[in-house]
Amino acid sequence: MNILNYTEEHNRFRARLREFLAKEVTPHVDQWEKDHIVPKEIWRKMGEAGFLCTATPKEYGGHGLDFLYSVIVSEEVARTHHSGLSVSLHSDIVVPYIESFGTEEQKKKYLPGCVSGEIITSVAMTEPGTGSDLSSMITTAVEEGDSIVLNGAKTFISNGINTNLCVVAAKDPAVADPHKSISLYIVEGGTPGFKSGRHLEKMGFHSQDTAELFFSNCRIPKENLLGMKGGGFIILMQKLQQERLVCAMGAVASAELLMEYLIDYCKNTKVNGKPLSKNQATQFALVEMMTEVKLGRAFTDKLIAEHIEKHNVVVEVSMAKYWTTDMVKKLVDRAIDLVGMPAMLEEYRLARAFRDVRILSIFAGTNEIMKIIASRFMGL
Ligand SMILES: Cc1cc2nc3c(=O)[nH]c(=O)nc-3n(C[C@H](O)[C@H](O)[C@H](O)COP(=O)(O)OP(=O)(O)OC[C@H]3O[C@@H](n4cnc5c(N)ncnc54)[C@H](O)[C@@H]3O)c2cc1C
């Protein structure tokens, strides 16, 4: 039984996207991994083909499609086995801030470019000394006449090099309560005083351009405040459910892809004259791994269905984010032992997978923070 009601139209969209990715993305992934960035051109091609911001309303140049299209994009991009084309971050995490909290002028000005891929978004919360505890951020936003002046540094920012629209969290130093002092601001690429710093070299996610960002007397118009002044925390909280659900969806899709690869490998690789898949120990391992993937799929699909029906499932989504990302980490680790030495080679799939999935438990809220959220709601 399928919990999610995919229609023929959804299925056709998935097939078209899979074909597009096979032609425009997969052949280039190895090069992008070496370059540590994807070309901006691929964003425009994705936009042109209708695969960016599928949920954005038609009146702002979008496609006005339901969340299942976002699920399809997230799953199919995960199947391309790289992290650089961070479509879900753009379409399902950053752009929804503008859609939900932007003024009419902001939506008209920015959303069409987000849909076409001319605009590549990023969100800058983390600072050199501030990760999970956002209340201790020190980047400031001070009003001066018709402007807001930003000063500070951000780090670990995905799309930090390619971005030309950054949603920045900054604090009003005049407001003592940290939960009321943080606001979000839209900063356009090329604004004087806003620049990218180091392109950070990471253990995994090689094709994703993760960078430092600096704001030095960066003056933006007052109209670039996103949402209510001092409402930064509330905005971030309201969008956490979708953000973390997207992480769980990516983890399950990666796990499924890995299982396809692993089963194929075990069936087609002989050890002591017989396929690996004929060893009972290997069979048991594959069955156990597949069971976990199916548990992850069932849990995540249930949450997707509830999210579409606008239920508050933030606690279960926190559980799913930590469980599915831990699950795929364990899965790759075990897969490497099953495959043996070839798993160490870059030409096989597992080396990159091992590096990439390691990151999933850290970003979008660490898995420890997920458990803190869940324990609070469980009344512990
Ligand atoms: C690939 C990648 C891309 C990223 N992209 C972005 C981006 O686009 N924009 C952005 O703003 N940030 C981004 N980040 C940063 C990410 O959001 C932070 O790494 C994350 O919030 C955790 O912060 P930290 O790494 O500084 O860890 P810390 O918060 O310093 O935590 C260190 C350790 O302490 C634990 N810990 C923290 N607080 C508690 C607590 N109260 N109780 C128990 N344990 C706790 C954590 O779980 C962790 O194990 C990215 C990170 C990565 C790895």
Across the range 108-137, mean pLDDT stands at: 96
- pLDDT at residue 250, rounded to an integer: 96
Question: Which helix (H) or strand (E) element contains residue 212?
Answer: strand 210-221
- Which residue puts its alpha carbon closest to atom 30 of ligand 1? 131
Residue 194 φ then ψ, to 5°: -110, 120
- Which residue puts its alpha carbon closest to atom 12 of ligand 1? 126
- CB neighbours of residue 198 within 10 Å: 11
Across the range 75-103, mean pLDDT stands at: 96
Q: How far is the CA of 311 from the centre of ligand 1 (A)?
A: 27
Taking only the tens place, the pLDDT of each residue in 175-222 is: 999 889 999 999 999 999 999 999 999 999 999 999 999 999 999 999
Q: How far is the CA of 14 from the centre of ligand 1 (A)?
A: 33
Find the residues whose C-beta lies inside 6 A of ligand 1.
Answer: 122-126, 131-132, 156-158, 205, 210, 359, 362-363, 366, 368-369, 372
- Residue 2 predicted with pLDDT over 90: no
Q: How far is the CA of 132 from the centre of ligand 1 (A)?
A: 5
- pLDDT at residue 50, rounded to an integer: 98
- pLDDT at residue 178, rounded to an integer: 86
- Residue 166 predicted with pLDDT over 90: yes
- Residue 287 predicted with pLDDT over 90: yes
Confidence of residue 273 (pLDDT cuts 50, 70, 90): very high
- Which residue puts its alpha carbon closest to atom 35 of ligand 1? 368
- pLDDT at residue 69, rounded to an integer: 98
- Residue 284 predicted with pLDDT over 80: yes
- Which residue puts its alpha carbon closest to atom 25 of ligand 1? 131
Q: How far is the CA of 339 from the centre of ligand 1 (A)?
A: 32
Rounded (to 5) percent helix, strand, coil in the chain: 55, 15, 30
Q: How far is the CA of 114 from the centre of ligand 1 (A)?
A: 26
- pLDDT at residue 45, rounded to an integer: 98
Q: Counting atoms of ligand 1 from 1, which one is nearest the CA of 124?
A: 11
C-alpha count within 13 angstroms, C-beta hemisphere, residue 377 = 13
3-state class (DSSP) for residue 23: helix
Q: How far is the CA of 181 from the centre of ligand 1 (A)?
A: 21
Is 219 in contact with 148 (CB distance < 8 Å)?
A: yes
- pLDDT at residue 347, rounded to an integer: 87
Is 128 in contact with 140 (CB distance < 8 Å)?
A: no
Which residue in the block uniquely carries the two structure tokens 């048991």? 284
Measured between alpha carbons, how far is 209 from 326 in angstroms, rounded to an integer? 24
Across the range 271-276, mean pLDDT stands at: 95
- Whether 243 sits among the annotated catalytic residues: the reply is yes
Annotated catalytic residue within 99, 243, 292, 316: 243
Q: Counting atoms of ligand 1 from 1, which one is nearest the CA of 364?
A: 17
Taking only the tens place, the pLDDT of each residue in 233-262 is: 999 888 989 999 999 999 999 999 999 999
Cα separation values, 170 from 154, 215, 349, Å: 10, 10, 40
Confidence of residue 76 (pLDDT cuts 50, 70, 90): very high
Across the range 304-321, mean pLDDT stands at: 96
- pLDDT at residue 237, rounded to an integer: 87
* Domains of the chain as residue ranges with CATH: 8-119 (1.10.540.10), 123-230 (2.40.110.10), 233-377 (1.20.140.10)
Q: Counting atoms of ligand 1 from 1, which one is nearest the CA of 369?
A: 47
- Which residue puts its alpha carbon closest to atom 51 of ligand 1? 363
- pTM of the predicted structure, to 2 decimals: 0.95
Instruction: Please give the mean pLDDT across all residues of the chain.
Output: 96
Q: Collect all residues with Cβ–Cβ distance below 8 Å to 32 and sequence separation of at least 6.
A: 38, 39, 82, 84, 207
- Residue 1 predicted with pLDDT over 80: no
Q: Collect all residues with Cβ–Cβ distance below 8 Å to 370 and sequence separation of at least 6.
A: 244, 318, 319, 321, 322
Ligand 1 pocket test: pick from 120, 363, 367 the residue with the most ligand atoms within 8 Å of its Cβ.
363
Taking only the tens place, the pLDDT of each residue in 339-366 is: 999 999 998 889 999 999 999 999 999 9
Taking only the tens place, the pLDDT of each residue in 20-40 is: 999 999 999 999 999 999 999
